[in-house]
Structure 1
Amino acid sequence: MSFVIRAATAQDLQHLYEMAKLTGGGFTNLPPDRNALTTKLKNSDAAFSRTADEIEAETFVLVLEDTDTGAVRGTCQLFTAVGQAWPFYSYRITTLTQHSQELKRTITAELLSLVNDLGGCSEVGGLFLHPGQRAGGLGMLIARSRYLFIASHRKRFGNKLLAELRGIIDERGGSPFWDAIGGKFFGMSFQEADEFNAIHGNQFIADLMPKHPVYIAMLSEEARKVIGLPHPSGRAAMRMLENEGYSYQGYVDIFDGGPTMLAPTNKVRSIADAHHGAVESTTLDKGEKSLIAAGHLHNFRCCFGAREVRGDAVAIDAQAADLLQIGEGDAVWSVLR
């Protein structure tokens, strides 16, 4: 089978909807709601259609297509500037140290403070791979294709990238973290709040979430244990992010307490190491296993292939050239697999 990453179109709605139903909840960027997905695809089309280089709050949706069948088997998203349409809320873990002279005792407490520190960052998110395709490195192809897209459209993205990982969700589909904090103020289950956020945005958080810091010690043990931990299904994604140069800096999701990972855009490995050059040959037999991308905006495509860097030029294999729909003289971005 041959797979390629490409720009999503309105015709991908049904594929995305079917995958959204498989996420298991807690996946805000891929809600199982046709209207929300339709809006997301319209916004993505507008982003792909805009040719100016200034940063605006936009969403790009990419999909993984099986070119043998035409089926969409995965997806990912890029957000150019979060927190512009409405504030981007996070909890930041901070510490407060207090000392009593009479008791001769010093106490250090950890707090959750509601902040908008990450507004203006670009975000990589919305990554989902169909359960039937979780082999052969396709998750890596989806994840790292985003960085080649950023490298080839660098002026459309900010100087810092963030990635939110889904937090711990129990067998009932609930969140111990949400139950301990948000659930006390909103009268909504985690699933109800998550679905509302996915469809309507998080302005309701600004309206009702308490603005004062929350003492972590006052939360239930179940809630304390999950703060900053990724869902078991996201551990591999966290390692992948760490390998790219992301780090956890004490920011967690306000819904499920999952970790937010951060990295300077230009220092993300797949961006910093990306090679840009014209294709010198499309008949390479053996070369370095790589991710190769070509095309601008709507025409962006990315796949696995073989390359041989020849100064400012590059040779690639015939199958990659076919998947990317390019020939000699066309420009490509590539990075070692």
Structure 2
Amino acid sequence: MTFRMRAARESDLGALYEMAKLTGGGFTNLPPDRKSLRAKLERSAAAFARDDDTLADDLFVLVLENVATGEVRGTCQLFGRVGQVAPFYSYRIGALTQHSKELNRTFRADMLTLSTDLEGSSEVGGLFLHPNERASGLGLLIARSRYLFIRQHRARFADRILAELRGVIDEAGGSPFWDGVAGRFFGMNFQEADQFNAINGGQFIADLMPKHPVYTAMLPETARAAIGLPHPSGRAAMRMLENEGFNWESYIDIFDGGPTMTARTDGVRSVRDARDMALDAVTGEGTIVATGRLADFVACYAGPDAAAALGVANDAAVLAIGRE
């Protein structure tokens, strides 16, 4: 069975909506809302159609397609530059250390500071693979195809790149971090805030979020314990990001406290190490190959069916990245 990554189309709306309903909440880039998803596809189509190679507020949506059936079974998104139309907020974890001569003690207070430090970065996100396909290595294909797309269109992406990982969500669909921090100021639960942000954007955060640092010692233990932890389903994604060269530099999501990973774009392994070569010269199990620009971009695993999946000749020039 052969799968390929390709540019999303308007006709993929139904499949994206059905996958969005399976995310379980806290997945801002893939909301179960047809209007929002349609707007994403329209924005993506405009980005694919733009023919000048410059950095802009682009959104590219890619989908994983079963070549034999045409079914869409996964997706991911790339943002050219965040924080240009609406602020891009994160919490930065910091500390204040003070010394008391009278007590002969030093006190360290950890705190969360609202930050827009990451504005202007590119972002990879919205990665989702249908639950029925999760034992086949397709998550790696989705993840690494994003970096091959960046390599093919390097001028359209910034020098720093980030990835937000979903944080801890409890069995009821709530967020201990949200309940302990922002929920106290917004008068809405996590599901309501998450859905509102996914559909309407984050300006309400700028309007209502307290601007002063939040001392973590004042938070409930459940909220403190969630800081910087990925959702259990996101641990594999975190390992893949780390293998690509991403690091956690103490930035977390303001909604659920999940870690925001960052890297220098040119230092991302699949961007740095990808090589141009002939398809019939590609060897190595797990090698991913890609060809085409913008809406014609296609990526798949190398193998006997790769030429047909990519729509090229066996000796065509491709961009390849090996598993190791």
With the shorter chain as reference, the TM-score category is over 0.9
Residue 287 in 1 paired to residue 273 in 2?
no
* Alignment partner, residue 25 of structure 1: 25
Give distance in 2, aligned partners of 1:181 and 1:83: 23
Kindly state the Cα deviation for residue 194 of structure 1 after the two structures are TM-superposed. 0.2
1:54-107 Cα deviation digits (max 9, x unpaired): 100110000000011110000000001000011100000001011122222210
SS at match of 1:288: coil
Give the superposition deviation at 1:287: 2.4
Residue 321 in structure 1 maps to residue 318 in structure 2: no
Partner of 1:313: none
State the alpha-carbon separation in 2 of the partners of residues 224 and 136 from structure 1: 35
Ranges in structure 2 where 5+ consecutive residues have no aligned partner: none
- Kindly indicate which of the two structures has a greater share of residues assigned to strand: 1
Distance 1:93 1:234 in 2: 21
Report the 3-state secondary structure (helix = DSSP H, G, I; strand = E; otherwise coil) of the residue aligned with 2:86. Answer: coil
Letter matched to residue 221 of structure 2: E
SS at match of 1:171: coil
**Whole-angstrom distance in 1 between the partners of 2:80 and 2:232:** 28
Q: SS of the counterpart of 1:217?
A: helix
SS of structure 1 residue aligned to 2:254: coil
| Residue 66 in structure 1 maps to residue 63 in structure 2 | no
1:197 aligns to 2:197 (yes or no): yes
Size of the aligned set, in residue pairs, is: 322
Moved over 6 A (4+): none
- CA shift, 1:319, in A, is 1.4
Give, in whole Å, the separation in 2 of the partners of 1:103 and 1:299. 68
Q: TM-score, normalised by structure 2?
A: 0.97
The answer to whether 1:305 aligns with 2:291 is no
CA displacement at 1:327 relative to structure 2: 1.8
Cα RMSD after superposing both structures = 1.1
CA-to-aligned-CA distance 1:24-48 (integer Å, 9 cap, x gap)? 0000000000000000000000000
SS in 2 for 1:5: strand
* Residue 95 (1) aligns with residue 81 (2): no
Q: CA deviation at 1:276?
A: 1.6
- Equivalent positions of 1:131-146 (< 5 A) are 131-146=131-146
Aligned partner of residue 199 in structure 1, secondary structure: helix
Post-superposition Cα deviations, 1:94-141, rounded to whole Å, max 9, x if no partner, equal 010111222222101100000000000000000000001101100000
SS at match of 2:305: helix
1:331 to 314, 317, 321: 317
Matched residues in 1 for 2:230 and 2:289: separation? 30
Matches within 5 A, 1:179-194: 179-194=179-194
For structure 1, the 5+ residue unaligned runs are: 307-317
Distance (whole Å) between structure 2 residues aligned to residue 91 and residue 23 of structure 1: 24
2:160 equivalent in structure 1: 160
SS of 2:77's equivalent?
strand
Whole-angstrom CA distance in 1 between matches of 2:65 and 2:219: 44
> Could you give the per-residue CA deviations for residues 203-225 of structure 1, whole angstroms, max 9, x where no partner exists?
00000000000000100000000
Relative to the length of structure 1, the TM-score reads: 0.94
